[in-house]
Amino acid sequence: MNTTRFLVTIATYNEIENIPHLVPAIFEETDRFAAERNFTFDVLVIDDASPDGTGEWCDAHAEEFPRLKCLHRAGKNGLGAATIAAMQYAIENGYDRMINMDADFSHHPKYLEAIACADADVVAGSRYIRGGGIVGWPLRRHFMSRSINAFGRTLLGLSIHDISGAYRNYRVSTLAKLDFSRFQSQGYSFQEEVLWRLKLVGATMSEVPIIFEDRIRGTSKISLKESITAVKTLLMLRR
């Protein structure tokens, strides 16, 4: 039986309050089931020159966590660009699957087994199917997220219910079919765009339920401006 190599990717900017807790939690959770399923897990942090020392923490703990790697980028260039860098790293280094997650525990490591074991080209951790949900959001943010998801699903013809969440398991050989130079989004609307481009290359998609819990440490980077940009990007994709 062949070993499946997973790369867990985390884009960071000023996450020093979270990353020292998240990295060991990921390894603790994946070590629980990896050997039984013939999986291996590495973690890649993509850090946009965080002034709070997030990237430096990763470097300083490389000996403690030998499967932890850090990709240092020159500046804050956006979530989409960071995720593309992670995808290219996974392709170039021969990984089989890439699991992307947020740095702030809103994507809890306890869901990693279910997400890793589901078999599709893209497996989305979904807030909007039975068993999923959101904890800690104000009503305005619920409305904004639901509206963008409904609008985007209809406009782009996507089958999954949660098109804006980042907690996903990608088949790396399918990612290799994408032309990353064609991507238009650098920010949070990247999540919708990558699903649409994967659909165009024939990717299969499925979902597993997750409970999304709003961050308790650090500051959210999502704003109304990002939501407006997401809508504009969706409209551009359908031109």
Q: In CATH, what number is assigned to the domain containing residue 111?
A: 3.90.550.10
DSSP character string of 52-67: TSHHHHHHHTTTT-TT
Domain that holds residue 113: 4-237
H-type alpha helices, 38-182: 54-60, 79-92, 112-117, 139-156, 172-175
pLDDT per position as a tens digit, 27-47: 999 999 999 999 999 999 999
Which residues 6+ apart lie within 8 Å of 48 measured at CB? 11, 12, 13, 73, 75, 76, 77, 82
In three-state secondary structure terms, 213 is: strand
Give residue 220's pLDDT: 56
Find the distance separating the first CA and the last CA of the chain, reported in whole Å.
46
**pLDDT for 69-121, tens place per residue?**
999 999 888 899 999 999 999 999 999 999 999 999 999 999 999 999 999 99
Question: Given this model, what pLDDT does residue 188 score?
Answer: 80
Q: Indicate whether 238 pLDDT > 90.
A: no
Per the structure, how many domains does the chain have? Answer: 1
Confidence of residue 230 (pLDDT cuts 50, 70, 90): confident
pTM for this structure? 0.93
Q: Mean pLDDT across the stretch 153-168?
A: 94
**Edge-to-edge strand ranges of the sheet holding 39-47:** 68-72, 39-47, 4-12, 97-100, 168-171, 122-126, 205-209
- Taking the C-alpha atoms of residue 102 and residue 198, their distance in angstroms, rounded to an integer, is 21
**Do 173 and 90 form a contact (C-beta atoms < 8 A)?**
no
Give the DSSP H/E element, type plus range, for residue 4: strand 4-12
pLDDT reading at 231 higher than 80? no
CA distance 96 to 7: 8
